[in-house]
Structure 1
């Protein structure tokens, strides 16, 4: 079964994402900020990370940059999931290492298509 780490400081967003991903047959873990997510990736790297932009402690973009400095046998795919929709934000996310980008609010079909695009669905 594929694994997904949902990283968002909103408990509601994590719960919604978990529900959708479990219907897509993912095993889901959660983190409330980028530092917690980085620690989890170091311990047990998921297949994919669904990542929020604005979070306390370590933002999504800071997490991506830190993830890029890590050495993994298999780096997780990263899908940014945020309300930030400016082209500059999208470019910054891709430049920092994001594999895909999805806007909030999202639904099952949107997530499924993005996960297919990065090869984890």
Structure 2
């Protein structure tokens, strides 16, 4: 089972997305802020991280930079999630180290395509 780390501070978003991903066959582990995401990435070794960019403690931008700077987590694909849908927001996510970007509210079909593309890039096959 492919493990995804979902980093989301909003309980309703976290619950909805984790349930939908679990139904698609993923194992979902969660963190509620950027600091927790760093710890969870080390402890849980997820195949992919879904990172909300607007987080407390350490925001998603900085958490992603730290994940990509650490040799043990640098190869984990990160998909940035944000309610901001401007081109500069996408560019900012990619500049922080995100491998891809998606907007909120989440379109599950589109997000699943992006998850699958990132996992395939890493050589992980999924049936979702």
Shorter-chain TM-score above 0.5: yes
Give the Cα–Cα distance (whole angstroms) in 2 for the partners of residues 33 and 73 of structure 1: 17
Cα shift at 1:75: 2.3
Give the Cα–Cα distance (whole angstroms) in 2 for the partners of residues 48 and 111 of structure 1: 12
Cα shift at 1:73: 7.0
CA, structure 1 residues 73+11, in 2 after alignment: closer, same or farther (shift >3 Å)? closer
Aligned to 1:13: 13
Q: Deviations along 1:24-59, whole A, 9 cap, x unmatched?
A: 211001111011000111122200111111111010
Structure 2: which 5+ residue stretches go unaligned?
121-125
Give the Cα–Cα distance (whole angstroms) in 2 for the partners of residues 77 and 110 of structure 1: 16
Q: How does 1:10-89 map to 2 (within 5 A)?
A: 10-72=10-72, 75-89=75-89
Give the Cα–Cα distance (whole angstroms) in 1 for the partners of residues 19 and 40 of structure 2: 20
Give the Cα–Cα distance (whole angstroms) in 1 for the partners of residues 31 and 73 of structure 2: 22
Aligned to 2:109: 109
Q: Deviations along 1:61-91, whole A, 9 cap, x unmatched?
A: 0101111121127721111111011222211
Query: Contact 1:45–1:75 at 8 Å: present in 2 too?
Result: no
Please give the root-mean-square deviation of Cα atoms over the aligned residues, in Å: 1.5
Give 4+ residue runs of structure 1 displaced > 6 Å after superposition. none
Aligned residues: 121
TM-score (norm 2): 0.87
